Structure 1
Amino acid sequence: MKREDLIDMLWFMAVAEERSFTKAAARLGTSQSTLSHTIKRLETRMGLRLLTRTTRSVSPTEAGDRILRSLAPRISEIEHDIEAVLEVRDKPSGTVRITLSDHALESVVWPKLQPVMKDFPDIKIELNANDGFINIVEERFDAGVRLGESLDKDMIAVRISPDWRLVAVGSPAYFQANGFPQHPQELVSHKCINQRQIRSGGLYAWEFAKDGRELRVRVDGQLIFNSSRAQINAAVSGYGIAYLPENLVLDDLATGRLVQVLDKWSPFFQGYYLYYPSKRQNGPAFSVVMNALRV
């Protein structure tokens, strides 16, 4: 590939990622007309149509998408290598991008990273809250956070939290009006606050365990969320029983805003791990973040 082809490919990547010539031009620091001319020149040289253009949107063609998926991880590796070289200074600097769930963000990662922001002002941290399983290489994240049971084998994993459990909670007013469930299967006759799983699109089946016996219960109710904080607020307001990470509701349990039920059926799950590609060359900024998070 000629040097000019590589430069044009980088401009194509910007348009494909932004899905907009206007946004890509601003990102690249060039004019929209120059960018459009460059892409047309690249398509002519390759004999391929790389982008589908309409009056409202821009999207990669099948050929363009294949090139983007092939090129993006390689460019990301080059950027990481260059960033690692530039970060060799008196103070670590650079941007670290991490994808994680809202529970991991609120209960583990953000509390540990707050001192880092103060101690290392040249480090920038992007935390992308998403409960789905994202390909961190393709999406150009430096790392991700997952439970130990769902880690990919080709990743390096660093434990960043102890094991934790889910607990069933509701408001005192709700239980006074509807009674206390004594067994997980009784939840089917209660109003429950459901959680939509981003990865599968389905509703989470509540997992219980006791004396080696595992049980899954599909509950029903008026409300469905994909945010733990929203479920807590709904439970406190009396809209039903929610099944939430214990550490997120400790304050509400202590003040009596929430009451826990089915305690002996609440199982523990493996803690969170920070994971990243085994081929990644870690710069000083990433090492600072990783060391702050590890248990």
Structure 2
Amino acid sequence: MPREHYSELLALIAVARERSFTRAAAQLGMSQSMLSHTIREMEARLGVRLLTRTTRSVSVTEAGERLLDVAAPRLKSIEAELRSIAELRDVAAGTIRITATDHAIDTVLWPKISGILAEYPQIKVEMSADYALVDIVQGRYDFGVRLGDELAKDISAVRIGPDMRAAIVGAPAYFASHPMPTQPQDLVNHDCINLRLPTRGNLYSWELKKGQREMSVRVEGRLVFNGIYQILNAALSGNGLAYVPEDLVQPHLASGALLPVLKPWWRKFPGLHLFYSRQRGASRAMRVLIDALEYKKS
């Protein structure tokens, strides 16, 4: 089979999986116009329509489904075999793709990964900041990072961080015109800064716990972000109360730039875990990262 035919199949698989030329082009590292041209050439050569395009969506035709049913598993098998052969080398090498939140990347992943790049010059790392609960197999990631209580049962995982608490904080400027909450029910009367979850599209409820009492509070406010660093900055500016990781706000609490709110109710969560597909297993390069990132209690 000519080399360009492999490229066409990979392009078709990407578009079919993403249901979007824009997302597929970004994943393949090519322009959207080049991707469209590749698919059109493939359809013209075969004489059948493989994709149905509208202004809002892309779907696979019956002919496209038939081709994908045969080609996709075989290409996946070839990729797996190439990876296994590459593992026969004496050195760890290859590109490792990781999806995690920006907070996990900044505080856990990058501080340790940066230290091993010099030791393993043939390892490349791509980190994607995302708050969605991404399917790492479908997204073609080697690793994902989630809290311990968010892990599925059919994956392999290793703890990479200690337990963490979610803190509720506000700036002195905010409390100059608002009373300090004394119980969780008071939060409904405050301007709270919300986090929009991309996976479901809804706002994240603030999870609280005191002793054996647990509650989930749906707060209201004028500001909504899809990242905790923006939420932190808004709280520092006095624009409302924030629900963010304690380690992120600890310097601001120490300096007095932020004040703790309902501290007895701050909930502790299982630490961050690095997870990967159990079926695919871990390559030599992946094992290097696992060993470097594994959390060890001091």
**Shorter-chain TM-score above 0.5:** yes
Question: Does the C-alpha gap of structure 1 residues 41 and 271 become closer, same or farther in structure 2, counting only changes over 3 Å?
Answer: same
- 8 A contact 1:69–1:138 mirrored in 2: no
Question: Does the C-alpha gap of structure 1 residues 134 and 75 become closer, same or farther in structure 2, counting only changes over 3 Å?
Answer: farther
Q: 2:213 and 2:152 mapped to 1: Cα distance?
A: 27
Q: 1:74 and 1:253 mapped to 2: Cα distance?
A: 55
Offset at residue 74 of structure 1 (A):
5.8
For 1:193, the equivalent position in structure 2 comes to 193
Question: Does the C-alpha gap of structure 1 residues 70 and 166 become closer, same or farther in structure 2, counting only changes over 3 Å?
Answer: farther
Q: Secondary structure at the match of 2:177?
A: helix
User: How many residues are aligned here?
Assistant: 285
Pairing 1:6-45 to 2, within 5 Å after superposition: 8=5, 10-15=7-12, 17=14, 19=21, 36-42=40-46, 44=47
Root-mean-square deviation over aligned CA pairs = 3.2
- 8 A contact 2:99–2:127 mirrored in 1: yes
Tell me the TM-score normalised to structure 1 length.
Answer: 0.84
* Large movers: runs of 4+ above 6 Å: 20-25, 30-35
For 2:134, the equivalent position in structure 1 comes to 134
Deviations 1:186-210 (A, max 9, x none): 0111111111111111111111111
Pairing 1:15-164 to 2, within 5 Å after superposition: 15=12, 17=14, 19=21, 36-42=40-46, 44=47, 49-53=49-53, 59-63=58-62, 64=64, 75-76=75-76, 78-164=78-164
Deviations 1:39-78 (A, max 9, x none): 3334x4xxx5312357x89944254368658865763453
Deviations 1:80-111 (A, max 9, x none): 44134235445321100111122222222222
Q: Secondary structure at the match of 1:119?
A: coil
Q: 1:178 and 1:105 mapped to 2: Cα distance?
A: 34
- 8 A contact 1:73–1:140 mirrored in 2: no
Q: 1:165 and 1:22 mapped to 2: Cα distance?
A: 39
Q: 1:288 and 1:223 mapped to 2: Cα distance?
A: 41
Tell me the TM-score normalised to structure 2 length.
Answer: 0.83
Structure 2 unpaired stretches of 5+: 16-20
Amino acid at match of 1:14: A
Question: Does the C-alpha gap of structure 1 residues 208 and 49 become closer, same or farther in structure 2, counting only changes over 3 Å?
Answer: same
Q: Secondary structure at the match of 1:141?
A: coil
Amino acid at match of 1:40: A
Amino acid at match of 1:38: M
